[in-house]
Amino acid sequence: MNRLLSLNIYLLLLLSATYCNAQNLITNISVHDPVLIKQDSVYHLFCTGRGISAWSSTDLQHWKTELPVFTTPPQWAMDAVPGFKGHIWAPDISYYNGLYYLYYSVSAFGKNTSCIGLATNKTLNTASPEYHWTDHGKIIESVPTRTNWNAIDPNLITDHDGTPYLAFGSFWDGIKLAKLKADRTGLAQATDKLPTLARRKADTNQYTLLPGSYPADAGTNAIEAPFIFKRDRYFYLFVSADYCCRGPKSTYKMLVGRSKNLKGPYKDKQGKKMTDGGGTLILEGDTNWYGVGHNAVCNFSGTDYLVYHAYDAADKGISKLLIRKLTWVNGWPQVK
């Protein structure tokens, strides 16, 4: 009887440990700016890298390297961004009307010489004869001194009526929102009056300049990587604040605000607008992870997950893929 009880307790502990591991996953694959989607029984991960790095997994723990989306750099990108040689940033993946839509960024680091492009595919199964990425070229472009925003870090979101929008932005005037055409392959509005959804620092000198005199450098408005997640009556705007990509000196953290209107205003738990520097902290660095950020939010089988990269303090600050379960308390997300 005692041996049987001990065995049952051991099995319960083993199942509990497996469950925890399934909800909070730390992997050994090095990624930046991960996004995740599931086709059939396979998870597909896309992230910053040469040609857009791609991985696949059946359990979110063991990952197989796939061929990059682009084997050669798109010619339009090389023409638009001097010095671009194929390193593509911050993809965003979604599915609509029989196609997978992959928005991606090309940019000159630290400048808003940037563009967001789009590629589509009928399937993510690389063994399928229908597997082929079709590049649709440039969707939106930012130009130093002409635009006070940065066309980078795209994220697709649909309004309550199904109208598609693209959230994007990094530094300059913060996070922007642009309406897309119904087929999602181009903009449906001019770019001279795009609404701002969030700023990290309300530096009025940076935001009140006249067109044609906008700053050519990034400034101090350290906010980027928007991801909007629709849940019940609200849109939740996740952003990354402070500084990534510095290994042990990274200070990346994730903030969130919510709004019943896709165009905002987004407010944090205390009611402060994200355009005024507001944002409720979701996760920040600690002694194990120097900085955490550039997240996506995914729902698989009714469970919400936070997918992001973090700089591993135990491995020289190398960026790793982390996946953690999201719970919701009084209408606000929390990391479990």
Residues with catalytic roles = 33, 224
Measured CA to CA, the distance from residue 7 to residue 13 in angstroms comes to 10
- CB of 53 within 8 A of CB of 35? no
| Bond into 226 cis (ω within 30) | no
Record the tokens describing residue 58, joined without a space. Answer: 């059946």
User: What element of type H or E holds 17?
Assistant: helix 2-23
* DSSP class of 270: T
Radius of gyration from C-alpha coordinates of the chain: 20
Alpha-carbon torsion (199, 157, 195, 262), positive or negative: negative
* DSSP class of 194: P
The Cβ of residue 288 has, within 10 Å, a number of other Cβ atoms equal to 11
Measured CA to CA, the distance from residue 196 to residue 83 in angstroms comes to 29
